[in-house]
Amino acid sequence: MPDAHPKIPATPADFERMNGEWIEPYNPETAPAGLQYALYDTKARGPGTQGNYWYALPDGYEDDANKSKTYPTLIWLHGGTAQGSQGAPAVDLYRTAMAAGLMPPTIIILPQALPVGWYINSIDGKFPIEDIMIYDLIPHLDATFRTNGVRGLEGFSMGGYGAAHLGLKFSELFAGVSSIGPAILPSLANEPRERVWDTFRGDQSYYDQNHPTFLLKEKADVLRNSGLRLRLLSGGDDTRLAEAIEVLSKLMDEVGVQHYRRDIAGAGHDFELILNGLGSDAAGFWKDAFSR
């Protein structure tokens, strides 16, 4: 199973390789149990291009008795230098919650995005990840599965940044947004150059205008009246990100945007420890969001 906090590769060649990882390789011997694998067209990148995602259908989805039933969708965004399958432990946790009646039956999707792509469109247009997620992946999911138009978005670390960015910018598309240990440091200088160069090209203003704090201020009026459920989670021992996450939480309070905030004692930058530390609230958040 992929590490919840993978080590950063040491060489430029590793990052150059990751810039082409639009598809996570499938290996039946190492594929996460309970997940299925699929490809989809990424029209935002141009003709003939594809990406992939892993998915888990709720129990009973394929039963004849449920063939007309529709379901909410939860899209789970992986962290930096990781791949879509990183979210497999979260799938296990939520499927266990579904079986216990703590969460409605839900289609869970783990898309592969570039391991250092930040879930936005790169400043030079070379890596249009935001457009792929919003304009390629979501329509594909709605056309492929029996979705009901109710969506959740969750991510960890870089994926936590992505969940906040996409969820705030496109709030009308989601019922709930959950950011786990989001990598939302205030300055490009706070991140190693190799993590951010290909997306931002050193442009702090572009970083600022895509940052969740900017989007929160810009869309505060919309968000206050949207009904969107927001969750901001962190590990108590995650000293690198703790201050930035708390700043975002306080800003939400200042602009009157309600949100669920938890800092899990004894957890570092580890989404499994954070989610498990929530107890029944881990899935209860989605039960509330999907019932709106």
Output the pLDDT for position 2: 37
pLDDT at 227 exceeding the cut of 80? yes
How many whole angstroms from its chain centre is CA 192? 21
Decide if 2 is inside a domain: no
* Residue 252 within a domain: yes
Count Cβ atoms within 10 A of the Cβ of residue 63 and give its class: 0-12 exposed, 13-18 middle, 19 or more buried: exposed
Distance CA(252)–CA(275), nearest Å, equals 21
The pTM assigned to this predicted structure is: 0.95
- Spatial distance between the Cα atoms of 283 and 278, rounded to a whole number of angstroms: 9
Q: HSE (CB half, 13 Å, CA atoms) of 263?
A: 11
- Residue-wise pLDDT tens digits, 135-172: 999 999 999 999 999 999 999 999 999 999 999 999 99
The share of the chain scoring above pLDDT 70, in percent, equals: 96
CA pair distance 198, 192, nearest whole angstrom: 12
pLDDT single digits (tens) 181-206? 999 999 999 999 888 999 999 999 99
**pLDDT over 50 at 1, yes or no:** no
Query: Would 4 be classed as within a structural domain?
Result: no
Residue 40 lies in a domain: yes
Structural domain range at position 93: 12-290
Tell me what pLDDT residue 104 has.
Answer: 98
Confidence at 3, pLDDT banded by 50, 70, 90: very low
What value does the mean pLDDT take over residues 107-123? 96
Taking residues 50-71, report their average pLDDT.
97
Span of 20-29, 35-44, 89-98, 167-176 with lowest mean pLDDT: 20-29
pLDDT at 178: 98
**Positive or negative torsion for Cα 94, 96, 97, 98:** positive
Tell me if 3 is assigned to some domain. Answer: no
**Placement of tokens 């978005």 in the chain:** 153
Q: Which two tokens stand for residue 199?
A: 């997306």
Q: Which long-range contacts (CB under 8 A, 24 or more apart) does 251-254 make?
A: 251/213, 251/216, 251/217, 252/216
CATH of the domain at 260: 3.40.50.1820
Which residues are CB-contacts of 217 (< 8 A; sequence separation ≥ 6)? 251, 255
Residue 76 lies in a domain: yes
Q: Write down the mean pLDDT value for the chain.
A: 94
Task: Tell me the C-alpha to C-alpha distance, in Å, between residue 146 and each of 38, 111, 140, 164, 225.
Answer: 16, 18, 11, 26, 28
* Lookup: tokens for 71: 């379901």
- Segment 273-288 mean pLDDT: 98
Q: Quick check: is 277 in a domain? A: yes
Residue 5 placed within a domain: no
Neighbours of 99 (CB within 10 A): 12
Number of folded domains in the chain? 1
Where helices occur in the chain by DSSP H, the ranges are 12-18, 88-99, 129-131, 138-144, 158-169, 193-200, 204-210, 212-218, 220-224, 242-254, 271-277, 281-290
Q: Grade residue 9 by pLDDT with cuts at 50, 70 and 90.
A: low
